[in-house]
Structure 1
Amino acid sequence: MKVLTHLAYFGVVILLASMVPAGFLGNPGGAQTTILVVGFLGAWRYSWAFLNFTRAIIFRRLVYPRWKARRQRQFDAAAQPSHCYFMVTTYLVKIDVTLTVYRSIFRAAAAARDGATIVASVVDGKDARLIRDIFDQMPCDMTGVKLVIDRIQSKGKRDAMAKALRILKSFAPSHRDVLVFVDGDTVVPENIWAASAPVFTDENVGALTTDEGALIDKPGLYKDWFHLRFDQRQVMMCSMGLANRVLTLTGRMSVFRASLATNEGFIEGVESDYLNHWRLKRVDFLTGDDKSTWYWLLSNGYETAYLPDVKSLSYEEQPRDTFLDSAKTLMVRWFGNMMRTNGRAIRLGPRRCGFFTWWSILDQRVSMFTTLVGPISVAVTAVAGTPSVIPLYIAWVLMTRYVFCAYIALFRGHWFPITHPPVLYFGQVVGAMVKTFVFYRLDRQKWTRQGSGAVEVLPAGERIKRMESFAMHTLAICWLVMAIMLVNTIE
């Protein structure tokens, strides 16, 4: 059945290509300028993708195995204790998910050679009792594991993290100890301490993150989209791993040097991070704690490693009724966190960030506009009287995204459903649109499962800010369209 769907996919591509009139590409009236523009930008973007693909292979196949073995030898030779701390935040998580997640955390804690301490931050008393019951009923030896349950008022994840980190600070962790940040819906690999502790023999490493997978029961586009995102993430993270500086320390599960994560400056950065914007003034960060921790380490000169062979699994629920609404909701949060942080990261400069890392951060800003040039150029050309460019462009998109998905699948070691190529294009174009939206609205924040963020009844000053944001966003898109129209007039 999979073979038939892929053959049908190529049949659609051939059908679309056959709709293009003979001699269209060589005809001066056949939108040659649009084809050249799309082709030039495509070549640029594909060369960037090829560079990251190449770096990912070098890291995964050549560099990482040697790097891992060297760190393990150094760790074994040092023969020093390394305690494993866990900080877990649980809010509005289903009971069956809590059962699975905390059992995985307790197994990982019991497997830590030099003991473990867990601080679980919860809001609901029922969660506190459930977690204690899970701990007491674990079938493995838990004598070396200490559990602290911190029940707090619901003031947001950042406040919960800060309180939990200050509790952990009271244990005075050393620079050899590790601290695992875990969301309450993420299953932790049992070997997380064994895989992580040797990495911190390098004094320059402040934290690490790992591969991720999604646990989604309901089949459909939402599941395919998430799996594709994590497959893409593995490639990009491996590329960044070559520089030993990743672009984010995912909040689902990342591991920190415990002495740094309990540094008061680090805790304050998590608790009350903010951005001073020239128009929006002070923007306090609600979401994006993973970007705050990443930026603190980056700005203080620490490296961040990637472990491609260690994998956490997170439970993902579709937050809205439809795939489109769900994807938009999540992308607004994700890309808002990205845009609020990458501007100040760019200002650190390539010397502090490392050139490739700095260039990758800069590319996040540039690509949100260049990605839109292709579809806008085709739309302008079609409206101007050359609709034949549409099937040609769709065929081009389907073929190039198929090639991308094939490479990602080969890198991952499993094939892909036929929905992945169009879903990849959707993520690129709609993602770029969302990035431009949040770029001009950095003050708009909201958790997916919480009723926090901007209120509906706004004071006059906030309404003016929103009108300014709308005007500037509209003006930027109009300039982009006008530039494309001007280029299309060139013969």
Structure 2
Amino acid sequence: MTLALTHIAYFSTIALLFAMVPMGFLGDLQDTTKTLFIVGFLGMWRYSWAMINFGRAFVYRLWAWPRRKAAYQRGFEAIGARSHMYVMITSYMVDPEVTLMVYRRLFAACANARDGATIVASVVDGADERLIRQIYETSREDLSNTRLVIDRIKANGKRDAMMKALRILATFHPTQHDIMVFIDGDTAPPDDLWAQSAPVFSDPQVGALTTDEAALIDERGLFRDWFDLRFHQRNVMMSSMGLSKRVLTLTGRLSVFRASLATDPGFIRGVGQDYLDHWRLGRVDFLTGDDKSTWYWLLTHGYQTIYLPDVQSESVETQPKPGFVDSAKTLMIRWFGNMMRTNGRALRQSPARIGYFTWWSILDQKVSMWTTLVGPLSVLFTAVLHTPYVIPLYLGWVMLTRYVFCAIISVFNGTWFPVTHPLVLYFSQVFGAMLKTYVFFRLDRQKWTRQSSSSGGSTTSLFDRVKQWESLAHHSVALTFLALAILFLNTVE
């Protein structure tokens, strides 16, 4: 009943906003025509792109994936090869109760692996090592066919930990039929992970797969609503991309790789020593974004990456900052930085090689950070130069369209949404676009959420300060030209 009342109040607010606009406003005030045309044109473009992805997602979930899954299973049974499950898991600054939950779930998944499992756990803290061994030794599962190797390392970052763990795993000489699970220390895998994943690799063109995700957040509030919406959106977009057998990222929380590829020396170098040569910033060594590095290596080597919409992992998410906006900013800067550092070089690949829809989707990620800002800026200029009545009209339109989007997303995910989701969606779009433009000119700035290691801005050398000033200047010029272009289009006769 309370949920229904909040939605009624939401639509009442929309009605109130539209009621604030005088009768005949759209027809009588020609000064707003250009603004409405610009916002409407870009809006139709963005809405049509969203509808294409919604349509593709439904086709994949309801028609394509069930048929492909059955084909993978038939191929797996026909081959009849042994498929050992290797696991690489990294744990750093994870609460003991989370480690307990994650490793219990991981050991259960390994016990269910038909052909056995080998785990290499990369840890920094001795307390983590002792806890993991205790969980292993006291497990209620039959782990006689599961081998545990704990790699105690220094805190030199996740990429270094992954590189060392992969080199250990390479000594076991996995075959092309074996699978390797990359998993974070705060993510719990499903119990049937092997049974759901191994058949997919019966297709020799498949290099990796990733699964659906859910967030485990204790406290109610905007942060949990935001994460729930993000993962629901992710499910839609991954399903859309899954139709082309090319997802846009292999999430570091949990992804599964063909083990022989994951232990390839070139792949290991790509994980541990990835970098970007930038015309202005020089060589940018990647600190974060290991999931983008693995994705890029497989993409450029011509392998398919598959999405499993009916298999779900669960990750424990915590706010990195006290406030919601600061937390969202911290996480989005890291996420978008990873995306921007890799997408530029991905666009230089041939669309015929990586797939035309995949190539266009990557391009759209870069273009959308600018087009998303056109609407709010156009409305702002019109309100200042012509009439403020365009503001309630725009706000009502935003609330209505984002509600429709959230309704479609909820239907796809099989769950209804709180009334905060449309507002959080708009916040993510506009605030996210602003942050994308920020990181686009500062690709050298990187920082882990839970680690103190960072790059870009951590030193005060003259060279670093010059790069920061250059980044600020380029960013300011780009935003100025965007604002001038919008102003020109709104005022030209």
**1:91 — aligned with what?**
92
Write the mapping of 1:158-197 to structure 2, written as runs, cut at 5 A: 158-197=159-198
Write the mapping of 1:332-343 to structure 2, written as runs, cut at 5 A: 332-343=333-344
**2:463 — aligned with what?**
461
Deviation at 1:457, TM superposition (A): 3.9
TM-score scaled to structure 1, two decimals?
0.99
**1:316 — aligned with what?**
317
Give the AA of the match of 2:62. R
**2:474 — aligned with what?**
472
Contact 1:24 1:30 in 2 (8 A): no
Contact 2:250 2:294 in 1 (8 A): yes
TM-score scaled to structure 2, two decimals?
0.99
**2:109 — aligned with what?**
108
Match for residue 481 of structure 1 among 469, 480, 483: 483
Deviation at 1:30, TM superposition (A): 4.4
Asked if 1:361 corresponds to 2:357, the answer is: no
Task: Tell me which moved more, 196-205 or 20-29.
Answer: 20-29
Query: In structure 1, the residue corresponding to 2:111 is in which secondary structure?
Result: helix
Aligned partners of 2:87, 2:63: CA distance in 1, in Å?
31
**2:69 — aligned with what?**
68
Aligned partners of 1:88, 1:452: CA distance in 2, in Å?
20
Contact 1:161 1:271 in 2 (8 A): yes
**2:383 — aligned with what?**
382
**2:401 — aligned with what?**
400
**1:282 — aligned with what?**
283
Query: In structure 1, the residue corresponding to 2:350 is in which secondary structure?
Result: helix
Aligned partners of 1:460, 1:104: CA distance in 2, in Å?
50
Contact 2:86 2:178 in 1 (8 A): yes
Contact 1:401 1:422 in 2 (8 A): yes
Deviation at 1:258, TM superposition (A): 0.2
Give the AA of the match of 2:464. E
Query: In structure 2, the residue corresponding to 1:203 is in which secondary structure?
Result: coil
Write the mapping of 1:371-450 to structure 2, written as runs, cut at 5 A: 371-450=372-451
Contact 1:274 1:285 in 2 (8 A): yes
Alpha-carbon RMSD: 0.7
Asked if 1:490 corresponds to 2:479, the answer is: no
Give the AA of the match of 1:150. D
Query: In structure 1, the residue corresponding to 2:77 is in which secondary structure?
Result: helix
Asked if 1:5 corresponds to 2:6, the answer is: yes
Write the mapping of 1:340-355 to structure 2, written as runs, cut at 5 A: 340-355=341-356
Write the mapping of 1:115-264 to structure 2, written as runs, cut at 5 A: 115-264=116-265
Aligned partners of 2:74, 2:353: CA distance in 1, in Å?
29
Aligned partners of 2:21, 2:256: CA distance in 1, in Å?
53
Q: Where has structure 1 moved over 3 Å in runs of 4 or more? A: 454-457
**2:47 — aligned with what?**
46
For structure 2, the 5+ residue unaligned runs are none
Deviation at 1:79, TM superposition (A): 1.3
Aligned partners of 1:384, 1:368: CA distance in 2, in Å?
25
Deviation at 1:385, TM superposition (A): 2.8
Deviation at 1:452, TM superposition (A): 1.2
**2:60 — aligned with what?**
59
Query: In structure 1, the residue corresponding to 2:334 is in which secondary structure?
Result: helix
Aligned partners of 1:386, 1:462: CA distance in 2, in Å?
45
For structure 1, the 5+ residue unaligned runs are none
Do the aligned partners of residues 228 and 128 (structure 1) sit closer, same or farther apart at CA in structure 2, a change above 3 Å counting? Answer: same
**1:35 — aligned with what?**
36
Cα shift readout 1:408-440 (whole Å, capped 9, x = no counterpart): 000000100000000000000000000000000
Deviation at 1:379, TM superposition (A): 0.5
Query: In structure 1, the residue corresponding to 2:443 is in which secondary structure?
Result: coil
Deviation at 1:242, TM superposition (A): 0.2
Q: How many residues align?
A: 491
Give the AA of the match of 2:437. T
Query: In structure 2, the residue corresponding to 1:172 is in which secondary structure?
Result: coil
Give the AA of the match of 2:478. A
Cα shift readout 1:106-164 (whole Å, capped 9, x = no counterpart): 11011000000000000001100100000001111111000000000111000000000
Aligned partners of 1:349, 1:409: CA distance in 2, in Å?
35
Aligned partners of 2:350, 2:216: CA distance in 1, in Å?
38
Contact 2:83 2:115 in 1 (8 A): yes
Aligned partners of 2:208, 2:441: CA distance in 1, in Å?
31
Contact 1:122 1:152 in 2 (8 A): yes
Cα shift readout 1:240-261 (whole Å, capped 9, x = no counterpart): 0000000000000000000000
Deviation at 1:28, TM superposition (A): 3.8
Aligned partners of 1:106, 1:457: CA distance in 2, in Å?
43
Do the aligned partners of residues 282 and 380 (structure 1) sit closer, same or farther apart at CA in structure 2, a change above 3 Å counting? Answer: same
Aligned partners of 2:31, 2:284: CA distance in 1, in Å?
48
Aligned partners of 1:23, 1:33: CA distance in 2, in Å?
17
Aligned partners of 2:313, 2:240: CA distance in 1, in Å?
19
Aligned partners of 1:3, 1:490: CA distance in 2, in Å?
46
Deviation at 1:352, TM superposition (A): 1.5
Cα shift readout 1:201-252 (whole Å, capped 9, x = no counterpart): 1111100000000000000000000000000000000000000000000000
Give the AA of the match of 2:131. L
Task: Tell me which moved more, 140-149 or 454-463.
Answer: 454-463
Query: In structure 2, the residue corresponding to 1:25 is in which secondary structure?
Result: helix
Percent identical pairs in the alignment equals: 63
Give the AA of the match of 2:138. Q
Give the AA of the match of 2:201. F
Contact 2:31 2:386 in 1 (8 A): no
